Amino acid sequence: MISGSGRFELRPITAEDKVHIHRGLSHPDVIKHYAVSFLTLEATQEQMDWYAQLEREGTGQWWAIRSVGSGEFVGAIGINNIVEHHRRCELGFWLLPEHWRKGIIREALPVVMDHAFNTRGLHRIMAEVETDNQASAKALLHAGFAHEGTLRACEWKDGRAISLDVFAALNTA
């Protein structure tokens, strides 16, 4: 576990979180701006296997975001695609819709950034955000990420080309 800001804590994702991961990654409002989705609880095992693979191979770590006190699952955040030689990684996150607009990601981002920079010794964290996902873009900018550009029409989703904004934070310490 890595500590949060007081209202939330980040705990490693475990098998018991599968039902919550499915709830998020099958919710139409979440997957509207997210790259993966799962129709069934059984299919969500693919995501659970991916989380485990990241840890096993040392290429990332994802955490369940939980309320301090109640332990309620509110979302997930993590780093993946760590390239040790280049000291970089990618960042991802999502929240269950009933927890949107409460500042949760703004509280979790500095904790994950500290882990990436100071515990893992990385220098660069990058995030790709669909261009119409302004809430995630604002959270990244608030955490000190810089908008580096837009990858225009770089992916296909739901039968149409989408663009991704690229954000990055550098360890300047």
Average pLDDT of the chain to the nearest whole number? 94
pLDDT reading at 165 higher than 90: yes
Decide if 131 is inside a domain: no
Full 3-state SS string of the chain: CECCCCCEEEEECCHHHHHHHHHHHCCHHHHCCCCCCCCCCCCCHHHHHHHHHHHHHCCCEEEEEEECCCCCEEEEEEEEEEEHHHCEEEEEEEECHHHCCCCHHHHHHHHHHHHHHHHCCCCEEEEEEECCCHHHHHHHHHCCCEEEEEEEEEEEECCEEEEEEEEEEECCC
Domain that holds residue 92: 8-123
pTM score of the predicted model: 0.94
Decide if 13 is inside a domain: yes
pLDDT reading at 2 higher than 90: no
Decide if 28 is inside a domain: yes
Decide if 129 is inside a domain: no
Q: What percent of the chain clears pLDDT 70, i.e. is strictly above it?
A: 97
Q: What is the pLDDT of residues 79-103, one digit of tens each?
A: 999 999 999 999 999 999 999 999 9
Phi-psi region of 101 (alpha: psi -120 to 50; beta: other; left: phi over 0): left
pLDDT band at 12 (very low <50, low <70, confident <90, very high): very high
Q: What is the pLDDT of residues 107-124, one digit of tens each?
A: 999 999 999 999 999 999
pLDDT reading at 6 higher than 90: no
CATH code of residue 95: 3.40.630.30
Decide if 2 is inside a domain: no
What would the mean pLDDT of 26-52 be, rounded to a whole number?
94
Decide if 75 is inside a domain: yes
Decide if 170 is inside a domain: no
Q: How many domains does the chain have?
A: 1
pLDDT reading at 50 higher than 90: yes
